[in-house]
């Protein structure tokens, strides 16, 4: 199954997200966040990489997760796109110092620009964005390859946050796709 199959899955997952009201998205995200905080790889972590949500696309809202982690004195790290070239998807990782430290990139994704860089090896857990996830841990993201490139450089747990309706038995994957080690939905936590 190749890119055509992935495109079909992306369409399906995006359609589901569009069907969610803002209220439903908030309620589901809250359940997911609380399950994620209790998940085994997250509880002892001191440095956690979290993506900033694209709320207009009904992505699982990680802002409450970020606030709760910071309240526990966990260092939160956000991704910053450093290359917008399709051939070289590259992220760096910077400490999150609150909403005032964020600026929008060309895709209107909020990123910390002038905070301390954090090397990937210092990260204890990575929260990975996903449109959908297979029960085997393979995920489908937006298709740019940023997280697959990044995940090849870390050995820490990788946690996907997704809606239960976007958890399926399996998804097409390629040799460069890096599976997640934990999946959190509003109903369950899975370790593929």
69-88 pLDDT per residue, tens:
999 999 999 999 887 776 66
When pLDDT is cut at 50, 70 and 90, the band that residue 95 belongs to is very high
Q: What is the pLDDT of residue 74?
A: 97
Q: Report the chain's mean pLDDT, rounded to a whole number.
A: 91
89: pLDDT strictly greater than 80: no
Q: What is the pLDDT of residue 150?
A: 86
137-155 pLDDT per residue, tens:
999 987 677 878 888 889 9
Average pLDDT over residues 110-120: 93
Sheet holding 47-49, edge to edge: 90-95, 75-83, 47-49, 125-128, 158-161, 182-184, 189-190
1: pLDDT strictly greater than 60: no
Residues of the binding site for ATP = 6-10, 139-147
Strand-pairing partners, residue 92, are 80
Residues of the binding site = 6-10, 59, 139-147
Q: What is the DSSP letter of 20?
A: S
Residues of the binding site for substrate = 59
Average pLDDT over residues 20-35: 96
The beta-strand segments (E) located in the chain are 47-49, 75-83, 90-95, 102-104, 110-112, 125-128, 132-134, 139-140, 158-161, 167-168, 182-184, 189-190
CATH topology of domain 3-190: Rossmann fold (3.40.50)
Q: What is the pLDDT of residue 108?
A: 85
When pLDDT is cut at 50, 70 and 90, the band that residue 128 belongs to is very high
125: pLDDT strictly greater than 50: yes
């Amino acid at each position: 199954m190749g890119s055509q199959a992935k495109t079909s899955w992306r369409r399906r997952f995006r359609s589901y997200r569009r069907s969610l009201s803002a209220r439903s998205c908030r309620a589901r995200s809250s359940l997911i966040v609380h399950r994620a905080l209790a998940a085994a790889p997250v509880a002892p972590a001191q440095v956690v990489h979290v993506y900033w949500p694209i709320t207009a696309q009904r992505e699982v809202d990680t802002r409450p997760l970020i606030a709760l982690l910071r309240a526990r004195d966990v260092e939160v790290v956000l991704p910053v796109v450093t290359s917008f070239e399709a051939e070289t998807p590259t992220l760096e990782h910077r400490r999150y110092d609150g909403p005032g430290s964020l600026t929008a990139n060309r895709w209107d994704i909020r990123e910390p620009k002038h905070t301390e860089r954090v090397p990937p090896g210092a990260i204890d857990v990575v929260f990975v964005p996903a449109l959908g996830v297979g029960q085997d841990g393979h995920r489908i993201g937006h298709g740019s390859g940023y997280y697959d490139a990044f995940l090849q450089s870390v050995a820490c747990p990788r946690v996907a946050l997704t809606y239960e309706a976007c958890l399926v038995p399996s998804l097409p994957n390629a040799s460069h796709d890096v599976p997640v080690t934990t999946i959190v939905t509003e109903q369950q936590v899975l370790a593929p």
